[in-house]
Structure 1
């Protein structure tokens, strides 16, 4: 598996695959062809169908500036992944220098094909959760020690920066009011939810409102192009910060411990990324919100001081009960149903950790995390393309703009 640095990235919304990935692609092409006089980009599949709402053409044009760029939007997908594009590079005589086939494969990760293809750097020799749990059990180390063993002792500094970036996105989102950009004219509600939580007497309602307001704050920031952390993607970026911020503010967990919890959650996200997908265009929203819910459930289970088996149980529940979740953004914007799903996903993560804590000592879970990852991958394959970030089905079709 790759480093968790490739999973947790600080960037801007609204989409890791449609905004962050294309931005990285444009920067890489600029570095390789500084002599280019113009570009033409063929956006394919999901990048074409929801690119306008996700600001794909905008971010590419902004990154290539001042060199001019034109676009073609083609609904057919390229062979490797639904988020594909071909970048045509032209010289001063307007002759094509190169046609580059490249993919944005989720979480801001990119993959060039052909002679520009790069081999991902593998940091972890274990690729499944079963392998990881067996390794730490045999060595008698914690999951956090396992992360540091392969990431390096200074990795806690990176995680500290990631945690601060997550908290920044929560606090920034809680301050803002107004309308999120785009045709939906969606009102920001995180600040009002937070104030409502403060004025709610019933403790159970208050706690859940706090968590929801934190998730909404980040998801609204993401939808409006603000700074967030991919966890594992932009579209699901509110779930992990909501749980971590709740643990810090309401449960008074110190940041040094939250860094460890963040690493544990990241491991489960990494396993999904390695063995299935974290791209909504490839696997539906189960790959994004489902994975984020599993990560946050594992995080919360670690905070509850559960053993590794029960942490796995919590993560498995977090993913299992999001199976089949469709990616059908209305108008191509990462707003409806995406923002609400971040709030709902954070509450599901809390519930999964609580259930693992209560049920795990009564009976052994019969479904492993690796098994549910395999099921999620197969479910994603079976989903119609209309429900995989194309805005051709589901809510997007019902409320088409």
Structure 2
């Protein structure tokens, strides 16, 4: 199974890669499939049922919002986060959704979107079933699983935590750290250099890889900027106030001093800024999940702000190396935290 760094680091929205990004991607896939197969105009209604962990905790993670946006044709990496609330309010007020941005149908959360809290689908806790009808005739039914990190698979490519296998032949395939380090020793390549060669096997030039990695960093940096500049209360019933802006002003006003832990204050601040943006449904980069999304941009933000000689080459090396570590986790464990008791 070939895993790209761009499978692990993806632009999306908060607050959850598995409960927000995954359902949005699944709903988008379903609507796009109807459009591509010429079925869209025949649809009179769509039903979506979220099972297991999605049924139990999906509402708090915005899964209902994600399904509405996905059916409308939005993708996690492209949706305009600044207009989401306004658009969702309009959909709920009208009781409709414009399927794939083309065909308006009735859609009411609670009637056409159901959180099934007592049942789970067989292959993974994050299961979804979408059904499109022409009056009482089923036009299409699809089951998807959100397996963590924004990965979505259909029922024909499932398992405990599988992604759809990619049969790309990598020059330096590895599934363990021992194999990774052995490749480096044999070739003289650094981990980032080895990952660059593997990325080229997916049909990308080095220039394309660098451009895409720097785009990921630009999204991360903007997320940190927004997180450190915004104030107010985060969504949800707990009324949690944002703290990153106040901490940012305080750190800026303090003398550098000689405190060896000051670096950790800044790294923690940057991570908090991303986490607050994630909680607010903002634009983030899954790294490799929304829950862990603050770590990579926090380290990179400190590097770019404080370390002499920091630059784009260092950012690219860091992301490629982090991607290698992500591959090891994805190959050997789960990056989905969903549990159903």
TM-score (norm 2): 0.78
What SS is found at the alignment partner of 2:140?
strand
Quick one: distance in 2 between partners of 1:4 and 1:258?
Answer: 14
Match for residue 177 of structure 2?
A: 129
The change in CA–CA distance for 1:139 and 1:58 in structure 2 (over 3 A counts) is same
CA contact (8 A) 1:231 1:240 kept: yes
Q: In the TM superposition, what is the alpha-carbon distance from 1:83 to its structure 2 partner?
A: 0.6
What is the root-mean-square deviation of aligned Cα atoms in Å? Answer: 2.0
Matched, 1:260 2:303: no
Quick one: distance in 1 between partners of 2:222 and 2:24?
Answer: 22
CA contact (8 A) 2:151 2:163 kept: no
The change in CA–CA distance for 1:262 and 1:235 in structure 2 (over 3 A counts) is same
Match for residue 199 of structure 1?
A: 253
What SS is found at the alignment partner of 1:186?
coil
Quick one: distance in 1 between partners of 2:157 and 2:182?
Answer: 38
What SS is found at the alignment partner of 2:132?
strand
Alignment length (residue pairs): 283
Match for residue 290 of structure 2?
A: 234
CA contact (8 A) 2:51 2:115 kept: yes
Q: Deviations over 1:296-336 (max 9, x none)?
A: xxxxxxxxxxxxxxxxxxxxxxxxxxxxxxxxxxxxxxxxx
Q: Deviations over 1:46-81 (max 9, x none)?
A: 101111111101111233222334122222221111
Match for residue 89 of structure 1?
A: 132
Quick one: distance in 2 between partners of 1:130 and 1:230?
Answer: 26
CA contact (8 A) 2:152 2:163 kept: no
Q: Which moved further from structure 2: 205-214 or 173-182? A: 205-214
Runs of at least 4 residues of structure 1 off by over 4 A? 115-118
Match for residue 13 of structure 2?
A: 12
Match for residue 248 of structure 1?
A: 304
Q: In the TM superposition, what is the alpha-carbon distance from 1:89 to its structure 2 partner?
A: 1.5
More helix per residue: 1
Quick one: distance in 1 between partners of 2:157 and 2:229?
Answer: 47
Match for residue 158 of structure 1?
A: 212
Matched, 1:78 2:121: yes
**Which stretches in structure 2 are left out of the alignment for 5+ residues?**
72-96, 99-104, 201-205
Match for residue 101 of structure 1?
A: 143
Match for residue 225 of structure 1?
A: 281
Matched, 1:277 2:334: yes
Quick one: distance in 2 between partners of 1:148 and 1:242?
Answer: 23
CA contact (8 A) 1:42 1:72 kept: yes
Matched, 1:140 2:188: yes
TM-score (norm 1): 0.67
Higher relative contact order (CA 8 A, sep 6+): 2
Q: In the TM superposition, what is the alpha-carbon distance from 1:115 to its structure 2 partner?
A: 9.0
Q: Deviations over 1:131-173 (max 9, x none)?
A: 1111121111111111111112231221111111111111111
